[in-house]
A and B are shown apart, each in its own frame.
Chain A
Amino acid sequence: MSISIMPLTDADEEQLPRWSKWLDLSDRALAVLLLAPAAILLSLIIVYPVGRLVYTSFFNLSLTSGLPAEFVGIDNYRAMIDDPVFWQTLWNTVLITIITVPGALLVGLGLALLANLPFAMQWPVRLSLLIPWALPLSFAGLIFAWFFHSEYGVVNDVLTRLGFGSIIWFNSPKWAFAAICLTIVWKTSSFMALMILAGLQTIPRSLYEAADVDGAGRIRQFFEITLPLLKPSIVVALIFRTITALQTFDIPFMMTGGGPGTSTATLAMYIHQNTVSFLDLGYGSALAVVMFALSMVVTAVYLRIIRTKE
């Protein structure tokens, strides 16, 4: 993590008496006052909903039936085990994660290395990395749906010109999945590149100069200087990318709507469908608990890495 949060030092402690008369009485009260808005918001939007989520997952709560919520124990979870769509969407989500996270890392690393060259003008380069980052995921989904259009898409146009013939992307589960993964890699690699580029720019030039003197080639320099020093920024970027990949929704929703069939639907799409379309809140909650558990594991790994770094 590149944020530096300085620990309060002894020097700070020594300063305290100087202004203690203004805050002695109110230091704790002030802290409570300042942190209260954040605490209230987090309680309303995260803490309480998490509790409610777990609670609801043990109920049969369907808004379409009009019946009051009925406690059903782990029935929702049991139903999940027998639900092929759950397994399919879970598998798709995991697959998207293990394809697009390393994919975005490799593409992002490539882009960052290119962007790190000594260009006369920096702003076009920066802009070319920022625009994909700022583009809403849902827009990217629509734009690439048009890119991969079987009749008038630019991808098929290029493929035809190169002599490969065109592909009907969205009729086959395999190609539809590939199109989605390519889109996600494109959309997310820029952010990766920005993070890695920031890491690259902190590597002192003198290290490379010394390596030049020692006669180490560019490739050896890359593997022995660049990569090891980039590791911290890469790890942080990877973890965040993994967590967002587990939540993939916008791009497949816009590109295929989960189709053909449910072959490209993700867990987030299935949660959305159960909640908003079927109004089956009990089952939707149970599905969400699974996703929650998945990302908690990743977050735990992340916190651990940060802590060991410190």
Chain B
Amino acid sequence: MSAVVVPSPASFLTGKPLRFIAAAILLVNGLFPALWILFTSLKTESELTLKPITWLPHQATLANYMQAFSDQPLHLFLFNSFMVALLSTLLTLFVSVLAAYALARLNLRFRGLILALIVAVSTFPLVTLLVPLFEIMRSLNLLNTWVALILPYTVLSLPICTLMLISFFEGIPRDLENAAMIDGCTRLGALFKVVVPLCAPGVFTAGILAFVNAWDEFLLALSFNSNPSLRTLPVGIQLYQGEFAFPWPVISSALVVGIVPVAILIVIFQERVVSGLTSGGIKG
């Protein structure tokens, strides 16, 4: 810190008032939609149809949350979403740790080609494979199972996680592995006993990205799992809509229930998520 502060000609651009306005814009843009849904979820049906509309709920009620759980098996939607996301994350990590290690450490002849392939797969539109995947899952009798979603979700995050892990692995000195191998570890033993623990933050970050990707996916879940008890959250939330009725407070409650788990994850691990996203994670 220098003692002498020389005001630049445009110092008002970095001054306090501007920072205040900037913070307000950022916070409203980022958080208002989620807050609005929270307000809506706390309003009674009768308050909702007041004109002009109210912003803050006058008489906050939790009744909509009770109804969200009783009208539809919301706990099952949550459970399905959670299990599908968790299992596909674990599978993604396992597969990408192995692949990334091979690409980071072994002198592969086709390394460049494989890397280009991974980048190409990372941009692959899974939507276009709706028909063949539907056929494959149908012929394997996997429609309406978690597996029908876990496998595609794993592929969805595999390229991002592999690219991230390659750069993490390259940051680990080879000597550590060599030392472990001299101590009698096998190559794979060194991978799981030395490299992965050292890269634990990186592996964890990759895991969060894979989890969020799987938690968010909608089209495949909608197409492959039509059985109500196997629906994931994004698909299940649609069921609250009646033919003509749209019970917004109840839908909002279900949305809040769906947002909270990921929001907690993001709040706790925000720095890690940002560094992961910007170091190689790529998602729309």
Q: Which residue of A lies closest to B27 (CB)?
A: A128
* Contact indicator B158/A42 (Cβ below 8 Å): yes
Interface positions of A from 136 to 179, Cβ below 8 Å from B: 136-140, 142-144, 146-147, 149, 151-154, 157, 160-161
* Contact indicator A52/B135 (Cβ below 8 Å): yes
Task: State which of A12-20, A79-87, A223-231 sits at the interface with chain B.
Answer: A12-20
Interface positions of B from 210 to 267, Cβ below 8 Å from A: 212, 215-216, 218-219, 222-223, 233-234, 237-238, 248, 251-252, 255, 258-259, 262-263, 265-267
Task: State which of B56-64, B65-73, B90-98, B194-202 sits at the interface with chain A.
Answer: B90-98
Give the number of chain A interface residues (Cβ < 8 Å): 114
* Contact indicator B167/A191 (Cβ below 8 Å): no
* Contact indicator B129/A49 (Cβ below 8 Å): yes
* Contact indicator A144/B136 (Cβ below 8 Å): no
- Per-position binary interface string of chain A over residues 32-50, scored 1 when its CB falls under 8 Å from any chain B CB and 0 otherwise: 0111011001101110111
- A217 in contact with B10 given A37-B95, A114-B25, A275-B130 (CB within 8 Å): yes
- A291 in contact with B128 given A136-B258, A138-B237 (CB within 8 Å): yes
* Contact indicator B131/A285 (Cβ below 8 Å): yes
* Contact indicator A5/B106 (Cβ below 8 Å): no
* Contact indicator B22/A289 (Cβ below 8 Å): no
- A186 in contact with B29 given A45-B155, A136-B258, A194-B278 (CB within 8 Å): yes
Scoring A115, A140, A276 by chain B CB atoms within 10 A of each residue's CB, the highest score goes to: A276
* Contact indicator B8/A4 (Cβ below 8 Å): no
- A45 in contact with B129 given A15-B174, A143-B33, A240-B283 (CB within 8 Å): yes
A134 to B102, CA, bound (A): 31
Interface of A is mostly: helix
- Per-position binary interface string of chain B over residues 78-121, scored 1 when its CB falls under 8 Å from any chain A CB and 0 otherwise: 00000000000000001110110110001110010011100111
Scoring B13, B29, B128 by chain A CB atoms within 10 A of each residue's CB, the highest score goes to: B128
* Contact indicator B10/A218 (Cβ below 8 Å): yes
B203 at the interface (CB under 8 A from A): no
* Contact indicator A276/B129 (Cβ below 8 Å): no
Q: Which residue of A lies closest to B6 (CB)?
A: A212
A67 at the interface (CB under 8 A from B): no
Scoring A38, A125, A236, A240 by chain B CB atoms within 10 A of each residue's CB, the highest score goes to: A38
- A56 in contact with B132 given A128-B27, A128-B29, A268-B127 (CB within 8 Å): yes
- Other-chain contact of A35, B98, B129, B222 (Cβ < 8 Å): B98
* Contact indicator B99/A2 (Cβ below 8 Å): no
* Contact indicator A38/B96 (Cβ below 8 Å): yes
- A125 in contact with B23 given A26-B187, A41-B154, A136-B216 (CB within 8 Å): yes
- A272 in contact with B280 given A31-B108, A127-B266, A289-B128 (CB within 8 Å): no
- A3 in contact with B95 given A195-B278, A275-B134 (CB within 8 Å): no
Chain B residues in 8 Å Cβ range of A272:
127, 130, 219, 222-223
* Contact indicator B178/A18 (Cβ below 8 Å): yes
For this complex, 15 residue pairs linking A to B, each with C-beta atoms less than 8 Å apart, are: A4-B167, A6-B170, A115-B26, A118-B14, A129-B26, A146-B36, A146-B37, A147-B36, A194-B277, A195-B277, A245-B284, A271-B127, A281-B135, A284-B130, A292-B125
Query: A127-B266, A129-B30, A250-B219 given. 18 additional CB < 8 A pairs?
Result: A1-B119, A2-B280, A12-B174, A22-B181, A42-B121, A49-B133, A126-B271, A127-B31, A136-B218, A142-B255, A146-B37, A152-B51, A188-B284, A198-B274, A272-B219, A288-B130, A289-B128, A299-B124
Give the 7 A-B residue pairs with the shortest CB-CB distance, closest first: A128-B30, A244-B284, A198-B278, A49-B132, A34-B102, A3-B280, A136-B216
